[in-house]
């Protein structure tokens, strides 16, 4: 998201401010920034009786909740508790259909966007299969497809061809789909996955990463959109008919549902990263089909084969999965169904099956003896597609940074952990990374000669964006697109914090106060600090000692815990008490800790 757009985003939010000191008798100090805003008629909602939750804690709590919920519902944890998995091996191949980021359709100059969603408003004669019309390949659609193929480490074929895949349905006006079944434009690719991508340790088998082979990538048309109006009326919208797609077909190298979902996530991330596909699964721009088979362990020399991979069981295909969770859940359900059939002495039939979110089993849609059912044949109206090496070299040399490369750069340049770097790269389609990089540049410039090194600045900014700002957004249920705080405002807060003009507590209050403002123009950070009398006015050494001594005299049990029992962690309780009791802007936590450690002898 462009940071300039953030300045005008309206927002009406607030939070309650709680001290970090654990005591039942205290009353939380009111947020000084909120008081200042109210005194000057800036709009803020009434305080909420809840603390801001850091993003990482929010995610951990959510994971714990889901785990507990699954346990209470009797759900067996994947890979554990089911003894049948010791005897059967799962194999999965994935087919991903992704809409290319293009302005026109694959075989007509009709636009892919526009007309404000009016049905059948972006349709050329060929898209509607009017008699006598011919397909005209639109060369511009090849560019995002080439970016996808290069990003997935495929071999781009100099010559490829077009085939007709025949089936009759109202969403396919011609009665066939033009695709590249026999001669695709790209082959032999690879997608590499790490543990951080969601691959279980059993699949990594001690390695740092695993590689999943990509058999081919082919270009093809999308179908029309059908809307059902019960009981028996169907409306067909041809706006989507002919939209250019790529189909990414993996090899059957996948052996767990989690890895299958990780493959789809990773490929979606790569396609977005190189601007080949701008809409993901959540908005309908990407769909996955999965081919699932099981075989009894110890029978590797028997069974069928596919593209050089042998010893496979009879596969079934599950169509049109629209989320990563659906990919994982559908594979688990189909794996368990196949194991149950085989253990009962039955036979797995080659068929196409469906999946509904929340279901426990896949459902049979139709039988499928093989690809010959579609009666593939070369398209007589289209010449072969010839791709020059100079075009491939140009696309390769102008490729944007790949997601894994971005994570590595962010980790190295800004000193973040792998987990934090991956999180900030993946969040909000790259908008949060842009926000962080702009903020870090402003902080570096603002600190000038007193600047920390780039790694420390990057880590400081990254932590505040992920945890402090991210926690505020999560606890208040605000999307990043509706977040009004700008990189300049966050940078001003962090510059004042690093220059010891404000305390960390005041910095968090300022961040929350800016989140609450819904009026324009917004007050600057420096104005908030000065008008709220928030600048740090540190106590003298004698003042620190007097305040610390007073609190120690009032809390002999806590003093004994530190001095006699060695519970050094209790020192931070005293620090919290000093921060609370001292006038705003007079007690630095670090200085208070040093004084307390000296007085307590810890």
Give the tens place of pLDDT for each residue, 261-274.
999 999 999 999 89
Query: For the chain, what percent of residues have pLDDT higher than 70?
Result: 84
Cβ–Cβ under 8 Å, residues 292 and 315: yes
203 closest CA partner among 288, 63, 89: 89
- pLDDT-derived band at 521 (thresholds 50, 70, 90) equals confident
What pLDDT does 535 receive?
A: 86
At residue 83, what are phi and psi to the nearest 5 degrees? Answer: -65, -20
Tokens representing residue 242 in the block: 């002919």
- If we measure between CA atoms, which residue out of 187, 191, 252 comes closest to residue 217? 187
Place of tokens 């902080």: 443
Dig out the tokens for 264 from the structure. 């789809």
Pick the residue with more confidence: 185 or 540?
185
Cα–Cα distance list, 257 to 79, 90, 356, 459, 487 (Å): 10, 9, 16, 35, 40
- 62 part of a folded domain: no
Residue 35: per-residue pLDDT = 56
Do both 249 and 101 map to the same domain? Answer: yes
Among the listed ranges 171-185, 526-540, 544-558, which one has the minimum average pLDDT value?
526-540
pLDDT in tens, 412-442: 999 999 889 989 988 887 889 999 999 999 9
Q: Which of 531, 561, 579 is the last residue of a domain?
A: 531
Phi/psi at 419 (nearest 5 deg)? Answer: -65, -45
Radius of gyration of the chain (CA): 30
Taking a C-beta distance cutoff of 8 angstroms, is the pair 286, 279 a contact? yes
Tell me the average pLDDT across 581-597. 84
**Could you tell me if 380 and 437 lie in one domain?**
no
Residue 69, domain member (yes or no)? no
Asked if the structure places residue 269 within a domain, the reply is yes
> Confidence class of residue 1 from pLDDT cuts 50, 70 and 90?
very low
Per DSSP, the three-state class of 239 is coil
Least confident of 11-20, 389-398, 496-505: 11-20
Above 90 in pLDDT, residue 602? no
Residues 444 and 511 in one domain: yes
Question: H/E element holding 202?
Answer: helix 201-204
C-beta separation of 496 from 525 below 8 A: yes
Instruction: Give the pLDDT of residue 364.
Output: 92
176 and 270 share one domain: yes
Q: At which residue do the structure tokens 């940071």 appear?
A: 3
CA atoms of 275 and 263, how far apart (whole Å): 18
pLDDT, tens digit (0-9, with 9 covering 90-100), for 63-122: 666 556 555 544 444 445 578 888 999 999 999 999 999 999 999 999 998 877 799 999
CB 127 within 8 A of CB 110: yes
Report how far residue 70's alpha carbon sits from residue 78's, in angstroms, rounded to the nearest whole number: 11
Does the residue 57 lie in any domain? no
Do 199 and 241 have their domain in common? yes
Same domain? 156 vs 201 = yes
Same domain, 428 and 502: yes
Map residue 195 onto helix, strand or coil.
helix
Q: Note whether 347 and 208 are same-domain residues.
A: yes
The answer to the question of residue 576 being in a domain is yes
Edge-to-edge, what's the strand order for the sheet holding 244-250? 155-156, 186-194, 209-221, 244-250, 88-99, 286-296, 316-321, 351-354, 363-367
Task: Please report whether residue 73 resides in a domain.
Answer: no
User: pLDDT band at 564, cuts 50/70/90?
Assistant: confident
Return the closest-CA partner of residue 262 out of 207, 308, 210, 306. Answer: 210
pTM above 0.85, yes or no: no
d(CA 412, CA 49): 40
Is residue 131 assigned to a domain?
Answer: yes
Structure confidence at residue 301 (pLDDT): 64
State which of 355, 373, 392 marks the end of a domain: 392
φ, ψ at 328 (rounded to 5°)? -65, -45
**Whether 16 and 109 share a structural domain:** no
Domain total of the chain: 3
Tally Cβ neighbours within 10 Å of residue 194: 18
pLDDT at 23 over 50: no
Domain with 468, as residue range(s), is: 3-52+401-531
Q: Give the residue, 301 or 325, on which the prediction is more confident.
A: 325
Q: Are 508 and 537 in contact (CB under 8 A)?
A: no
With beta carbons less than 8 A apart as the criterion, state whether 353 and 362 touch: yes
Residue 4 pLDDT > 80:
no
Same domain, 279 and 418: no
Largest CA distance in the chain: 96
Taking all residues of the chain, what is their mean pLDDT, rounded to a whole number? 84
From 482, 501, 531, give the residue that closes a domain: 531
C-alpha angle 263-269-272 in degrees, rounded to nearest 5: 140
**For tokens 């769909």, what's the residue?**
287
CB-CB neighbours of 399 under 10 Å: 15
Tokens for 4?
Answer: 């300039």
Mean pLDDT of 310-316: 90
What percent of the chain lies above the pLDDT cut of 90?
54
| pLDDT digits 0-9 by tens, 458-476 | 999 999 999 999 988 888 8
Confidence at 299, pLDDT banded by 50, 70, 90: confident
Is the Cβ–Cβ distance between 97 and 277 less than 8 Å? no
Q: Is residue 536 part of a domain?
A: no
The residue among 534 and 377 whose pLDDT is bigger is: 377
Q: Mean pLDDT lowest for which of 179-193, 199-213, 330-344, 536-550?
A: 536-550
In this prediction, residue 49 carries a pLDDT of: 40
pLDDT tens digits for 357-367?
888 899 998 87
C-beta of residue 563 within 8 angstroms of C-beta of residue 599:
no
Shared domain for 268 and 340, answered yes or no, is yes
pLDDT band at 510 (very low <50, low <70, confident <90, very high): very high
**216 pLDDT band (50/70/90 cuts)?**
very high
Q: What contacts 283, CB < 8 A, 6 or more positions away?
A: none
Once rounded to an integer, what is the mean pLDDT over residues 187-211?
Answer: 93
Neighbour count for residue 431 (Cβ, 10 Å): 17
Alpha carbon of residue 410 to chain centroid: 16
In a shared domain, residues 238 and 153: yes
**Position 33 confidence tier, pLDDT thresholds 50, 70, 90:** low
Distance CA 587, CA 413 (A): 33
d(CA 337, CA 291): 14
Q: How far is CA 387 from CA 155, 174, 221, in A?
A: 12, 27, 19
């Amino acid at each position: 998201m462009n940071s300039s757009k953030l300045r005008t985003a309206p927002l009406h939010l607030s939070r309650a401010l709680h001290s970090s000191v654990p005591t039942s008798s205290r009353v939380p100090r009111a947020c000084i920034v909120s008081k200042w805003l109210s005194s000057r008629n800036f709009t803020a909602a009434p305080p909420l009786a809840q603390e801001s939750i850091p993003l990482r804690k929010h995610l951990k709590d959510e994971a714990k909740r889901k785990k507990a919920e699954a346990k209470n519902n009797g759900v067996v944890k994947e890979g554990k508790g089911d003894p049948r998995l010791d005897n059967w091996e799962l194999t999965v191949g994935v087919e991903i259909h992704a809409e290319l980021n293009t302005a026109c359709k694959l075989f007509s100059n009709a636009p892919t966007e526009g007309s404000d969603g009016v049905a059948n408003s972006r349709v050329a004669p060929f898209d509607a299969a009017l008699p006598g019309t011919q397909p005209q390949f639109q060369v511009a659609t090849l560019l995002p497809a080439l970016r996808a193929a290069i990003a997935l480490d495929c071999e781009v074929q100099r010559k490829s061809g077009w085939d007709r895949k025949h089936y009759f349905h109202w969403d396919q006006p011609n009665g066939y789909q033009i695709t590249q079944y026999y001669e695709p434009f790209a082959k032999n690719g690879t997608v590499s996955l790490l543990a951080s991508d969601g691959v279980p340790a059993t699949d990594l088998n001690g390695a740092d990463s695993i590689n999943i082979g990509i058999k081919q990538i082919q270009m093809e048309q999308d179908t029309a959109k059908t809307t059902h109006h019960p009981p028996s009326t169907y409306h067909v919208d041809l706006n989507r008919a002919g939209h250019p797609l790529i189909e990414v077909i993996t090899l059957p190298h996948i052996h767990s549902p989690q890895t299958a979902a990780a493959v789809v996530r990773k490929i979606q991330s790569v396609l977005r990263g190189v601007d080949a596909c701008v809409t993901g699964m959540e908005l309908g721009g990407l769909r996955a089909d999965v081919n699932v088979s099981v075989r009894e362990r110890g029978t590797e020399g028997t069974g069928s084969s596919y593209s050089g991979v042998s010893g496979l069981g009879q596969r079934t295909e599950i169509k049109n999965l629209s989320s990563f969770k659906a990919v994982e859940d559908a594979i688990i359900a189909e794996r368990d169904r196949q194991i149950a059939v085989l253990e009962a002495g039955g036979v797995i039939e080659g068929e196409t099956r469906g999946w509904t979110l929340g279901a426990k089993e896949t459902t049979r849609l139709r039988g499928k003896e093989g690809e010959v059912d579609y009666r593939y044949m070369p398209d007589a109206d289209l010449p072969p597609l010839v791709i020059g090496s100079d075009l491939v070299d140009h696309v390769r040399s102008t490729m944007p940074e790949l997601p894994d490369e971005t994570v590595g750069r962010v980790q190295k340049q800004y000193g973040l952990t792998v987990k934090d770097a991956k999180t900030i790269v993946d969040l909000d389609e790259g908008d949060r990374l842009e926000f962080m990089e702009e903020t870090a540049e402003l902080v570096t410039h603002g600190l000038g000669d007193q600047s920390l090194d780039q790694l420390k600045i990057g880590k400081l900014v990254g932590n505040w964006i992920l945890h402090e700002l991210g926690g505020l957004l999560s606890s208040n249920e605000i999307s990043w697109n509706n977040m009004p705080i700008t990189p300049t405002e966050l940078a001003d807060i962090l510059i004042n914090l690093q220059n010891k003009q404000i305390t960390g507590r005041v910095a968090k209050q300022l961040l929350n106060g800016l989140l609450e403002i819904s009026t324009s123009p917004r007050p600057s950070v420096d104005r908030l600090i000065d008008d709220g009398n928030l600048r740090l006015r540190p106590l003298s050494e004698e003042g620190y000692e007097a305040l610390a001594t007073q609190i120690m005299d009032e809390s002999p049990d806590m003093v004994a815990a530190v001095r006699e029992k060695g519970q050094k962690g209790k020192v931070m309780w005293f620090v919290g008490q000093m921060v609370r009791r001292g006038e705003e802007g007079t007690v630095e936590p670090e200085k208070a800790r040093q004084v307390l450690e000296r007085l307590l002898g810890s």
